[in-house]
Structure 1
C-alpha cells in the first residue's frame, strides 16, 4: 500500500476518502488535525463536509475531493487542494502539493508530475 511506502520516507497523516472502503480503510479517520511548526493543519476529504470552525485557530485546510489542484487564501486561512498524484481523474492534471513552513510564513506550491 502506498501509505506504508510513504511512511518509510517520513511521517504520514492520512485520512479516508469517499471511495475508501473495506477493512483497511477503518484505520483512517475522516478528518485529522495536525500541529506542525506552530501551525494548525486540518485535513479532510471533501471541503463541503467541513464541520470544524475555521476561525478556531486553524491555519491551513487541506482537502482533495474535487481532485482540482488549488491554492486559495480566505481571510487568514490557507486552503490547499493538492489535486491527485494517482491515475488521471477526469481530464485533470496529475499533481501533488508541498507546503513549506518558514519563520516568514507559509509557501504552498502545486507540482505537476507531467512536467507541463
Structure 2
C-alpha cells in the first residue's frame, strides 16, 4: 500500500542470501581445499533453525544468543562424550517444552517486555 514492490524486495533478499551463502562456501573450500558431502548432512542443515529456536525467533538478539549457547554447548559436550548430539537433542526437547518461544522470547513475554 506504500508503493513498494514486495516481490522485487523479496527476490533481492533471496539473491543476496544465496550470494552470501555461496561466498561463505567458496571461502571455506579455498581455506581448507576440500568440501565433503558431510556438509549436506542433516546436522549442518538444521543448525540455523536450532540456533533460532534456542534464542527466540521473534526477537532481535535471540538468534545471536542461540548461536553462542549452542556452539558453546556443542564444544563443551563434545569434549566430554561422543554422544553429545543425544544430549543436545534432549536439551532442545526440554527447551521446546518449557520455553516454547525460545529463551529470549519467553523471558520477554513473562518478565521483561522491553527486551528486544
TM-score category by the smaller chain?
Answer: under 0.3
Instruction: Give TM-score, length-normalised by structure 2.
Output: 0.27
Instruction: Give TM-score, length-normalised by structure 1.
Output: 0.27
- Greater percentage in helix: 2
If asked which structure has higher relative contact order (CA below 8 Å, sep 6+), I would say 2
* Larger gyration radius, structure 1 or structure 2: 2
